[in-house]
Structure 1
């Protein structure tokens, strides 16, 4: 039984980007559109996750009791949400840090596959987090980190590395989960190796799904892209934008401020491809084709081709 009180825990605060504008759009249109389905799906997922994890990528442990084996999540993660804000805490141990990183990654990847992106921060400190009631300096610090994240990333506070200094170099406190961004701030990698969404059976499929989402928003918010021209229609055969976002796509908008967030996501996606090119391009084996390129599944990086955002073309195929 958990004794209620103030505890020292790892705490994450996440914010769903563009949520207010999305809700306004839904209210102005109808409950029959894809945006309504995406938002209600995301909130349903959070609601279920706050009551009992859905099992996907969970870190389970088992405790032998008089009634048999009791299944629990490693690190005692607790989750609350309201509207577009998500608060997660976990015990103040290395197991707790593993648990909170796992939970944050799980939510962010699931959201990205549905075109919903998050930013936030993870810190360490005092918090009262029992049921729907939470308060504490760690919660306030996590709020500050989220506000300073600026791009769709989850910052990792310096105090986390100080507290867990003896575990530096052990996953997730290594380069396969955390990196320093161009501004020097540490953040959780958006697409860690091997972490597929609940929609997909492989990491490759998840990367392709996320790539289609990023491509849609890059073209949607770039003022240089107008209408739904032939090139975008061809690309939609790969991306399935109409099925996910709207049957009547319109790229006549543009918002340079919002576009910057998706430019960062594009960079993060391309960095992932470069970092794990050996795995992505050659099924763990370096096989050279007669054309001088690696064989195996190929995922081209995202680039601006002078007219639209699209995958770079390789071997006559888009992927």
Structure 2
């Protein structure tokens, strides 16, 4: 590309920060498993530089996308990603199709976040729209990047990606009627502190009816995520800021609407998501570990199966 061809483009811009990355690097000097974790995470993110990764599999299952023409949600050839240390920048070129492009980007970011969470990795980010130069060789700059970084660092606070006011004004959000909905409406919500966005666990709620998401796979993934959160709650005795992040995740996990598996003929129901209980909830004693409470209820849950 010649210098004369380089110009700002209107792009969706997501700036994402991997939380606790510096601590994991520090631990890796004494724990080889942390080196393997860092490598696997960075290698996984590196693979997303390939355009074919941003396909339509996670969007074409949505009725809203089918009604509007799934091909209109294709962001391949319009997406760039740059990963450096503990930060990731993803951008998508948009014209008058911002709702479609935002849908596919948000669905994929939630999916990526879910995979990372199952590895024990939390992320936080900001998503906006603005002028940006983002080239395949990794060069990225522009007001869109500055705005998304500020959103992540100053407003996101918890493990979630929040949307800027500027972006929300261009999106069809909030929806007034069902016919005006897009796939991203299943992911985005307004949180108690006023911010609008999504967290990485929302993927499981939105995708649970997908034929590739079997009941067994969903149960396994939710169990892994629950254990990650419980472990996080129990390893932060001297860091209230980190504890608050895991406590927030615990609340969001418990809010997930996961449909029970049912058998119509026998009228039996199986809850496939085990709640994260309060510390020592209905258990005698004053144990300081959430894992103690979680293990107690997990054993009771398994007995009832």
Shift of 1:162: 1.1
RMSD over aligned Cα, in angstroms? Answer: 3.1
| 1:13–1:146 Cα contact (<8 Å) kept | yes
TM value normalised by structure 2: 0.75
1:104 to 100, 106, 109: 109
Distance 1:266 1:284, change over 3 A: farther
Gaps of 5+ in 1: 62-71, 224-253, 290-294
Structure 1 residue 137 and structure 2 residue 146: aligned? Answer: no
How many equivalent residue pairs?
261
Which residue number in structure 1 is paired with residue 90 of structure 2? 88
Secondary structure at the aligned position of 2:23 is classed as helix
Which residue number in structure 1 is paired with residue 64 of structure 2? none
Equivalent-residue separation in structure 1 for 2:22 and 2:299 (angstroms)? 42
Distance 1:170 1:296, change over 3 A: same
1:144-183 to 2 correspondence within 5 Å?
144-147=150-153, 148-165=155-172, 168=175, 170-174=181-185, 176-183=186-193
Gaps of 5+ in 2: 61-73, 281-285
Distance 1:90 1:58, change over 3 A: farther
Equivalent-residue separation in structure 1 for 2:85 and 2:23 (angstroms)? 13
Secondary structure at the aligned position of 2:92 is classed as strand
Between Structure 1 and Structure 2, the one with more helix by share is 2
Equivalent-residue separation in structure 1 for 2:191 and 2:228 (angstroms)? 22
2:239 to 248, 255, 263: 255
Shift of 1:173: 4.1
1:300 to 260, 265, 274: 274
TM value normalised by structure 1: 0.72
1:114-133 to 2 correspondence within 5 Å?
114-131=119-136, 132-133=138-139
| 1:171–1:177 Cα contact (<8 Å) kept | no
Shift of 1:257: 1.9
